[in-house]
Structure 1
Amino acid sequence: MRRVSPFCSVGWGPGSPRGLGWAKGASGCGGLSLSLPADPGPHLLRYFYTAVSEPGPGLPQFTVVGYLDDQLFFHFDSEGKGAQPRAPWIQAEGPEYWDRQTWIAKGWQEPFNGNVRIAMEHYNQSLHTFQYMYGCQLRADGSTGGFWQYGYDGRDFLSYDTRTPTWVAPSKEAEITKGKMEADRRLSQQQRDYLERKCVEWLQKYLGYGKETLQRRERPAVRVTGRDAPDGPTTLCCRAHGFYPRDIALSWLRKGESREQETWRGGVLPNGDGTYHAWATVELDPRERGLYRCHVEHESLAQPLVAVWGEAGGCGRPRGRGHPGKPEGPGSQPGAGCDRGASLDPSLAGV
């Protein structure tokens, strides 16, 4: 199938999946990851294209997926029949939309596979991956931003700086591709226009479709647990559970002062019900455990929550007033998970 124009009046497709003129010397580990842009803001629209040299069970040769925030809503792969909705709200688009998306995705398939073949001609490795990620963000202050990156074998290969606008090559192996991309000024202008205008328009449209789930606010349940090391420090763990949207700030304070250098954080991870959980730990002298507070900020809160180890009903409370807490999961009773926070039993800390 011929390569289709990437700038059709549809929700995605900015950029031409042409052969990229791979430079000799690039190599990698065959991973499937690209680094994400910093400061994603409250709403983020992203698309990921992936081609692999050796498809297998559960790993098609070519795949396209779309995410709004962290919710998968679009899927296409070379083994399926066409583009498929993956979230109820995107079904607001009719059959014509999905026929169009299928046509475009198939148009990208051969160029992406061709880039993998070009890479294989240069490097004697068993598995190669070629990726493309693009999208836009709508920040809390109303400003917007766009991004896209090419990745090869799990490493960032080339990215577009919308401020300049120029292509950025993180290594000398990408310089040939950078030169080819910047030589096409018409393409660069189209890319910039897509990121600054069209992508944001589609992001706002999709947010309208999914506003009941994507623009909701769920308060975090917060509790503090702890454990003692024999003849060593105490570790306090502050957990926030059941919150939405994803962005949250957990910090440990000692007498009101931040202990950022002593804090260890886990990632913000999804729950099965579409909400998130996160945690932050701090090590301290057992004699000072009463001096520490967990400070939690989230969009659902009018004011920060403060959680203290050993406090009755220690699920966390807004400053100056009580908070009844929230069940931790299926089968929990109100406050049941919070009461465990007053224990220093290591088996309950789960750190």
Structure 2
Amino acid sequence: MREIKAATIRQKGGPFQVEKLSLDEPRSDEVRVQVVAAGMCHTDMVARDQLYEVPLPIVLGHEGSGVVEQIGRGVKKVAVGDHVVLTYMWCGHCKPCLRGDLTYCQNFYALNFGGTREDGSTATRDANGPIHDHFFGQSSFGTFALVHERNVIKVPKNAPLELLGPLGCGIQTGAGAVMNALKVSPGSSFAVFGGGAVGLSAVMAARVAGAAIIITADVVPSRLALARELGATHTINSRETDPVQAVREITGGGADFTLESSGRPAVLRQAIDALAIRGTCGIVGAPALGTEANFDVNGVMTTGKRIIGIIEGDSKPDLFIPALVELFTQGRFPFDKLVKFYTLEQINQAAEDSEKGVTIKPIILLKEGHQYEV
């Protein structure tokens, strides 16, 4: 076993506690990764606060990036020394997986929120016994992570590894919602409701996709200013202006595509109401389990609107994450403008800053000798 340092959650609501733990050797189909950095996502707080129930104690973190340290004897996808991004987990054998719908894996919740491998085992322990892990197949709020070969994605060594972790979840969710799920088309109109990391990633993706009108609605002026910098043609402060009316005025009747990223039912209603005839609204915001929302049934039916749920941007990570890295390298997808770095000991501050909107995308640095300023 390898000794690691990791942030655990031992009670509902936290705090994160930095502790020394032990991590198993990789099995035949597993990869042990020295984590360089891990993004912090809203879903980490959702799990911490038990809005989605996860077993405790647990090591969270699901936007890891790092270097392959050791591989199981059956691993062919990566080699020791490869630079990798860690992403969500899927089973590979259920009907949705077999038809290529990886993000809708029949076992998605168990594999990503269950706190164990698929067989119910864990790889992490403290002096008293097992600690739940494998959060999103990785639990990357630690100096090392043990992952399946399936959800480790090789990336070029010339890309800045400390930055890349958020591509594994939040960034690919927003970008993939635009590119893969909604299929925003050149010349179309797109409006995102919520200007956090997911929403702003959607803005950048809509620009890459060639949307002519790109609208961001949020209540934080600094986020709206950044949205314009990243490609939004229009911004709406929803505290000052009715966003539905504003979108309709800007687009001349409604947006072709909208995306709800706030997780608030009232905002979802706005995103649906702001659609044009035959428009499509995507849902990526994650409220507590059991949350219900309402919409005008006739308003949807008689205009042919579509409402679709989107998980992880409908991404096939082995293809999509390297594509996002290439777009970043070309300067066409500058997601580095969303981030701020923290040490592992500052993880609770990172969570607080994220929840207050002070930081859009915190990244926790886990390997000493990093080149980024904390």
* TM-score, structure 2 normalization: 0.24
Q: Taking structure 1 as the reference length, what is the TM-score of the superposition?
A: 0.25
Question: Which has the greater radius of gyration?
Answer: 1
Structure scoring higher RCO (CA < 8 A, sep ≥ 6) equals 2
Structure showing the higher helix proportion among its residues: 2
